[in-house]
Chains A and B, each alone.
Chain A
Amino acid sequence: MSTAVATPPPPAGAPLTKKVLTADHPTWCPGCGDFAVLASFYRVLEKLQYPHEKIVTFAGIGCSSRFPYFVNTHGGHFIHGRALPFAAGISLGGDDLHVFVFGGDGDGFSIGGNHLTHTARKNVRITYVIMDNSVYGLTKKQTSPTSPIGFKSKTDPWGALDQPINPMRTLLNSGATFVARSHATQVNHMTEMMLRAARHDGFSVVEILSECVEFFEGAFDAAIPRKGGHWVLIDEKKNDGSPEDAARHDVSDELAAFQLAGQAWPGKFGVFYENKTRRTKNALEAELIAKTREKTKGATDLALLQATFAKLR
């Protein structure tokens, strides 16, 4: 199974290529949208060229959450819905690490919904990719929090009854500082979105519509031109002073982002929102430490604890 010793190690400092980054062969069904997300992620890492050992790929549970096995970086496969708080520990515990989390719509918006809200509001430096197939893939076709009303699943054979959540609105509302949307049939766009998300200093999320060919075929055809759909990109403001620029989307405008999020299905794709001013939890905690240590004049750990005990005499 493993070839850990058989393959010659790459020379130190060798560029990160798709070959180096490839690990286990994906176990996804042929035609699953997640393959394209993986291919784009290799391209993102090839572009970023982070030190190999500083990249962490993490996930919860689901088809999409098998991702870390397929990427040759430090990584892990945690429990359903809890990858984000784990990743917060990674990010805050190793500030030089580049933390990527992958997961599904159930993992992120259902069982992990509250964690998504709180990781976002804390603005922990993490890049989170939600592979939304609007169904529970791994457990074989139950209704998911993004399944449209009327979707016939094993738990709603007559068609889903409950109002689905709006991922963009949910993310904006939570306080994520980078929110983007893409589609697994658009490799270049996905790559660009993930790249911008990775470069964002804060909690960045990309929701990628990634079709489950097994349990929700055609779910995202409405945005696939060769299937008669419309692929419409967000026209981002260029700040070039031109008259047409006034009508373009300002990614720092939260209200405009909410308006985009409210558009009819399949809506637009691109960066909805980016907040470059809010400070990360990583930075705030580091500042707290620096200020505290200033007061204690950088005393050693031993001296600090001795002083504490001296007060208890």
Chain B
Amino acid sequence: MVSPNTPEASGGASASAAPRSIKDVVIRLAGNSQDGIQAIGGFLARLAGRSDQDVMTYMTIPSTISGGPSIFQVRMGTGDILSAGDRADMLVAFYQHSYDAHIGSLRPGGVLLYDADHVKPVEGDNRFTNVACPITTGTIEAVGGTAKDKGKNIYVLGLIARIFDLEVAKLTQLIRERFGGKNEDIVRNALLAFDAGYAWPQNNLRDLFYRFEAIDRATAVSGRPQVTLDGNSAIAYGFLAAGVRHGAGYPITPWSSIMETLRTELPKYGGVFVQCEDEIASISTALGFSYTGNVAITGSAGPGLSLKMEALSWATMAEMPIVVVNVQRGGPSTGMPTNVEQSDLMQAIYGSHGDTPRVVLAPKNVEDCFYLAIEAVRIARAYSTPVLLLTDQALSSRIEAFDEPDLKALMVPPGPDRTERPADFKPYPLDRQTRHAPAGTRIASGKYPVVTGLEHDEFGHPTGSPKLHAQMNAKRREKIKALAATLPAPELSGDASGEALIVTWGSNYGPAREALERIRAAGVSAAHLHIRHVHPLPHGLEEVLARYRKVVVAELNDEGVYGFGQFATLLRARYALPSIVSTCKTDGLTFKVSELVAGVARHLGNATLEGLVSQARPSPLASR
């Protein structure tokens, strides 16, 4: 169908003065969750992806199941978008409570766009460019009928498209894709709302007209288009690419969407995902799958991981491959289930009973969720070991754009290797890597192996021999050390030596990279080291850490009884460097760039840097 009121005809964007060029913008949408705020964010994210722009989003989910305050923050622009942005350049406030709660997040000179039907801004506050738009009545007038104010979100999308000179054709196409196939009325209403927002009289918007800098993709072309997705989806698709066709799980926020995606997708691939009665049954079923030669996955958040620990110990002892995802959230206990935290690191590495050397990987962003999921499965298979994939709530729901993966090159064929094993087959050889013969495999000797959690000899027979226990402990340890020797050097950016080294793991990657840029711009020699292979650590780090006066480990957990975060504690134990210090926080939110700069400034005792933090940085949208 044809949009009845085309933006061109309305004389919106094109009639105005030339747009001002900006590099990126942070837009915070604040309303209630039923307003479809996330849909606006989703449209903007997908649009940015299709436009070869970089995009990152940030979303809070109210802990109430439906309704209630909700925000979606999207940062879009040219070049690498590393974090969702400390503060907003534009705040769209749907209600008074949205305004009250979020006006503090707007940078000076930023744009406050509010629904004049619901919001009364504080009088005389002239820090921002205020735009009063009757969003509710505008939507009702445009759509009318029984839809009431449904479609406010799309109306706002139209406004934003007008202000940032976004590609209308691509946006309307996205709207059609999103709503099409349902009811043509829905598409029609959405387009009506969009056009009305876009055509809202431009003189009301004054000189608010911007355009993102043209990008130079020539330097980093993969030749593949951009895709836009969240971290949990990226993990699920990573598993599919890695040849995982089996899994089991029990629902818990923020892990559930991984199991929902796999339950829905796996049958297409001939696979099975089982919803179990609890997390213990889930890891047990997954181990059962792995035992048949189908390397399987399970996952949960912290509370469920606690339940899996006994079986994880078994997996180490029995040398059974498995990948376990932990989408970390605020703990302990039920804690802050919809907030981010990185407080399960020690649990991931050491949470089981006995000596259980195992592998822990932590993705740095959404794209990395995809690639590390593949890497986790590869390592589990190659070393016949449990691997934990430690992600977090922020990555789980954040939407980012990245180059579409080269699936053809990445796909790993699934399926057990049931070729007959020779007569000298041993399930637990001391001089070689364990390679289990999956159930169903003929063994030429006619002697069939037992996989076991008891200490055992090379054939899997139980043993009480202290010598064998020591030998087998060494075997299980040495294979993890052998993996460490193969790991690539972690990404180091900035100065090769100097005052400060920021060390991060997991989703702190982006804010730390941005913090580094600011610190170096202030004349301080510094670098950032980001670690994806958290355990075992790659070789050669002692030499890197030694080159900086302070090694500031930034992580989202408590500083603990001794004043160090969990990763910092490990690094201190491993490298015994007094220069290793901590910057920790547990407010349930990702690091702001300014918080990281402040942390480094404090440890360096650098007043210039501290001054930099307190300086309010005006928004690029500020009128000149």
Closest-by-CB residue of A relative to B314 is A79
> Once the chains bind, are A82 and B272 in contact (CB under 8 Å)?
no
Cβ of B494 within 8 Å of any chain A Cβ, yes or no, is: no
CB distance from B302 to the nearest CB of A (A): 21
Query: Which residues on B sit within 8 Å (CB–CB) of A305?
Result: 237, 240-241, 407, 411
> Once the chains bind, are A304 and B439 in contact (CB under 8 Å)?
no
Cβ of A309 within 8 Å of any chain B Cβ, yes or no, is: yes
Question: Which segment of A88-96, A133-141, A185-193, A258-266 sits at the interface?
Answer: A88-96
> Once the chains bind, are A89 and B286 in contact (CB under 8 Å)?
yes
CB distance from B411 to the nearest CB of A (A): 5
Closest-by-CB residue of A relative to B458 is A2
> Once the chains bind, are B448 and A313 in contact (CB under 8 Å)?
no
Q: Is the interface of A mostly helix, strand, loop or mixed?
A: helix
> Once the chains bind, are B311 and A82 in contact (CB under 8 Å)?
yes
Closest-by-CB residue of B relative to A54 is B440
Interface mask (B253-282 → A, CB under 8 Å = 1, otherwise 0) = 000000000000101111110101110111
Q: A85-B281, A89-B291, A118-B276 are in contact. Are A53 and B442 (CB under 8 A)?
A: yes
Which B397-413 residues sit within 8 Å CB-CB of chain A?
404-405, 407-408, 411
> Once the chains bind, are B270 and A293 in contact (CB under 8 Å)?
yes
Cβ of A225 within 8 Å of any chain B Cβ, yes or no, is: no
Cβ of B444 within 8 Å of any chain A Cβ, yes or no, is: yes
- Give CA–CA (A132, B581) in the complex, Å: 57
- Give CA–CA (A73, B442) in the complex, Å: 10
CB distance from A249 to the nearest CB of B (A): 31
> Once the chains bind, are A7 and B445 in contact (CB under 8 Å)?
yes
Cβ of A175 within 8 Å of any chain B Cβ, yes or no, is: no
Interface mask (A45-71 → B, CB under 8 Å = 1, otherwise 0) = 000000011101000000000001100
CB distance from A69 to the nearest CB of B (A): 6
Cβ of B469 within 8 Å of any chain A Cβ, yes or no, is: no
Closest-by-CB residue of A relative to B227 is A312
Query: Which residues on B sit within 8 Å (CB–CB) of A308?
Result: 237, 265
Q: A74-B439, A93-B289 are in contact. Are A313 and B227 (CB under 8 A)?
A: yes
Which B280-317 residues sit within 8 Å CB-CB of chain A?
280-282, 284-294, 296, 310-311, 314
Which A1-20 residues sit within 8 Å CB-CB of chain B?
1-5, 7, 9-10, 20
When the two chains form the complex, which single residue of A4, A75, A291 contacts B445, counting CB atoms closer than 8 Å? A4
> Once the chains bind, are B292 and A89 in contact (CB under 8 Å)?
yes
> Once the chains bind, are A76 and B318 in contact (CB under 8 Å)?
yes
Q: Which of B280, B408, B440 has the most CB of A within 10 A?
A: B440
- Give CA–CA (A9, B405) in the complex, Å: 48
When the two chains form the complex, which single residue of A69, A94, A309 contacts B462, counting CB atoms closer than 8 Å? A69
> Once the chains bind, are A115 and B268 in contact (CB under 8 Å)?
no
> Once the chains bind, are B424 and A5 in contact (CB under 8 Å)?
yes
Query: Which residues on B sit within 8 Å (CB–CB) of A292?
Result: 267-268
Cβ of A173 within 8 Å of any chain B Cβ, yes or no, is: no
Query: Which residues on A sit within 8 Å (CB–CB) of B293?
Result: 93-94
- Give CA–CA (A312, B401) in the complex, Å: 9
> Once the chains bind, are B49 and A313 in contact (CB under 8 Å)?
yes
Closest-by-CB residue of A relative to B440 is A94
Cβ of B481 within 8 Å of any chain A Cβ, yes or no, is: no
Closest-by-CB residue of B relative to A68 is B450
Query: Which residues on A sit within 8 Å (CB–CB) of B451?
Result: 75-77
Query: Which residues on B sit within 8 Å (CB–CB) of A117?
Result: 277
- Give CA–CA (A86, B283) in the complex, Å: 8
Cβ of A39 within 8 Å of any chain B Cβ, yes or no, is: no
- Give CA–CA (A289, B411) in the complex, Å: 20
When the two chains form the complex, which single residue of B411, B439, B445 contacts A56, counting CB atoms closer than 8 Å? B439
Query: Which residues on B sit within 8 Å (CB–CB) of A306?
Result: 407
- Give CA–CA (A114, B311) in the complex, Å: 16
Which A266-313 residues sit within 8 Å CB-CB of chain B?
285, 288-289, 291-293, 296, 299, 301-302, 304-306, 308-309, 312-313
- Give CA–CA (A118, B446) in the complex, Å: 35
CB distance from A310 to the nearest CB of B (A): 8
Which B427-456 residues sit within 8 Å CB-CB of chain A?
437-454
> Once the chains bind, are B423 and A89 in contact (CB under 8 Å)?
no
CB distance from B470 to the nearest CB of A (A): 17
Cβ of A224 within 8 Å of any chain B Cβ, yes or no, is: no
> Once the chains bind, are A77 and B311 in contact (CB under 8 Å)?
no
Q: In the complex, which range does the number of interface residues on chain A fall in?
A: 35 or more
> Once the chains bind, are A77 and B454 in contact (CB under 8 Å)?
yes
Query: Which residues on A sit within 8 Å (CB–CB) of B405?
Result: 309
When the two chains form the complex, which single residue of B50, B248, B292 contacts A97, counting CB atoms closer than 8 Å? B292
Q: In the complex, which range does the number of interface residues on chain B fall in?
A: 35 or more
> Once the chains bind, are B288 and A93 in contact (CB under 8 Å)?
yes
> Once the chains bind, are A87 and B311 in contact (CB under 8 Å)?
no
CB distance from A84 to the nearest CB of B (A): 8
Q: Which of A20, A86, A115 has the most CB of B within 10 A?
A: A86
Cβ of B338 within 8 Å of any chain A Cβ, yes or no, is: no
CB distance from A122 to the nearest CB of B (A): 8
CB distance from B173 to the nearest CB of A (A): 11
Which B66-125 residues sit within 8 Å CB-CB of chain A?
none
Q: Which of B248, B267, B288 has the most CB of A within 10 A?
A: B288
> Once the chains bind, are A4 and B291 in contact (CB under 8 Å)?
no
Query: Which residues on B sit within 8 Å (CB–CB) of A2?
Result: 447, 457-459, 461
When the two chains form the complex, which single residue of A77, A89, A92 contacts B452, counting CB atoms closer than 8 Å? A77
Q: A2-B457, A7-B446, A302-B408 are in contact. Are A76 and B267 (CB under 8 A)?
A: no
When the two chains form the complex, which single residue of B227, B269, B310, B448 contacts A301, counting CB atoms closer than 8 Å? B269
Query: Which residues on A sit within 8 Å (CB–CB) of B270?
Result: 289, 293
Cβ of A146 within 8 Å of any chain B Cβ, yes or no, is: no
Closest-by-CB residue of A relative to B284 is A85
Cβ of B335 within 8 Å of any chain A Cβ, yes or no, is: no
> Once the chains bind, are A79 and B311 in contact (CB under 8 Å)?
yes
Cβ of A28 within 8 Å of any chain B Cβ, yes or no, is: no
- Give CA–CA (A10, B446) in the complex, Å: 6
> Once the chains bind, are B311 and A96 in contact (CB under 8 Å)?
no
Closest-by-CB residue of B relative to A3 is B447
> Once the chains bind, are B446 and A52 in contact (CB under 8 Å)?
yes
> Once the chains bind, are A69 and B450 in contact (CB under 8 Å)?
yes
4 additional A-B pairs beyond A9-B423, A78-B284, A89-B291, beta carbons within 8 Å, are: A7-B447, A86-B284, A89-B286, A313-B228
- Offer 24 A-B interface pairs, CB within 8 angstroms, sorted by A: A2-B457, A4-B423, A23-B447, A53-B441, A53-B443, A54-B440, A56-B439, A73-B448, A77-B454, A77-B462, A85-B282, A85-B288, A86-B287, A86-B288, A89-B284, A89-B290, A89-B292, A89-B296, A92-B274, A94-B439, A114-B277, A115-B284, A117-B277, A313-B404
Binding site for A on B (CB under 8 A): 49-50, 225-229, 237, 240-241, 246, 248, 265, 267-272, 274, 276-278, 280-282, 284-294, 296, 310-311, 314, 318, 404-405, 407-408, 411, 414, 416, 423-426, 437-454, 457-459, 461-463
Complex A-B, nearest 10 residue pairs according to Cβ-Cβ distance, in ascending order? A89-B288, A93-B292, A85-B284, A85-B281, A118-B277, A292-B267, A312-B227, A94-B292, A89-B285, A76-B451
